[in-house]
Amino acid sequence: MKIRLLGSAAAEGTPAIFCRCELCQKAKELGGKDIRTRTSALVDDNLKIDFPPDTYMHVLRDGGRMSEFEHLIITHTHHDHFYPEDIRMRTPDFAKDYGDALNIYGNENVVQRCRETLANEMEHFNIAPLQAFTTYEIGGKLITPLPADHKPDEDSFIYFIEKDGKTCLYGHDTGVFPEETFNWLAKRVIDIAILDCTNGLIDRKAIHMNIEAVKDTKAKFTELGVLHENSKVIATHFSHNCGLLHEDLEKLLVPSGIDVAYDGMELTI
């Protein structure tokens, strides 16, 4: 299973569009891994996780077959993860030779929003709701939505992805996992865990996690026995508000065996 992290920022990106804070100014000067777009991932080229407003930029930046995915799973309806207006670009009025109908999956809010936004082009999309703790076969992978601590007015999901005996936990946006999610994961083995680290050193672990919560989550996984000696834990979804550059994040996380995500990071398991 191949995973490409297309973006690694929270809603405002880094540097944030209108921000003049010290972190954003430094990010502009340094470039490279300190430039972060809104979070999304591509799995085996055929499955995309989330559809942020930066998707078009990801296509321009990464080229190749970036826009040829057949399946799209959505974590929740916050705009930095779900911008269905641009999904309309995958219809005859805006594109040619784009393949078969796109399969879109998510919670009931995602389904409703898709049906509203794509109402005049529904024949080009297959839209299906997902339920927590139910495993689905999507794009040659087994996908299980798990409850997140994030958006109180909808069933926000993180995703457990399995293929050929390999597993990835796509674990954001969320605060510290609900106990029911930990309980479900306790019966699994995780090869790669990608975790929310929006808040950095800010003292908040609800809705989004901070560095301490990421470390605690890794410790909890170790206690549960779901990690093995070659498992990887990766922090992502960083906000400029935490005031930490990529190098700062590495100093705080790598000694604890936690890698720091960056735009374009590729993982293979």
Look-up of token digits 């996380």: 253
Range of the domain at 112: 2-268
Q: Which of 127, 169, 125 is nearest to 144 (CA)?
A: 169
Looking up residue 40, the CATH number of its domain turns out to be 3.60.15.10
Distance of alpha carbon 212 from the chain centroid:
20
Look-up of token digits 């799973």: 73
DSSP state of 101: P
> What CA–CA distances, in Å, run from 174 to 118, 157, 181, 234?
28, 8, 11, 14
How many domains are there within the chain?
Answer: 1
Q: Check: pTM over 0.95? Answer yes or no.
A: yes
| pLDDT for position 212 | 98
Look-up of token digits 């078969």: 100
Distance between CA atoms of 238 and 244, rounded to whole angstroms?
9
Cis peptide before 45 (omega within 30 of 0): no
| pLDDT for position 65 | 82
Q: Which of 55, 140, 157, 132 is nearest to 103 (CA)?
A: 140
| pLDDT for position 82 | 98
Give burial (CB, 10 Å; 0-12/13-18/19+) of 234: buried
Block means of pLDDT (10 residues each) for the chain, length 269 residues? 98 97 98 98 98 97 90 98 97 94 98 98 98 98 98 97 98 98 98 98 97 98 98 98 98 98 98
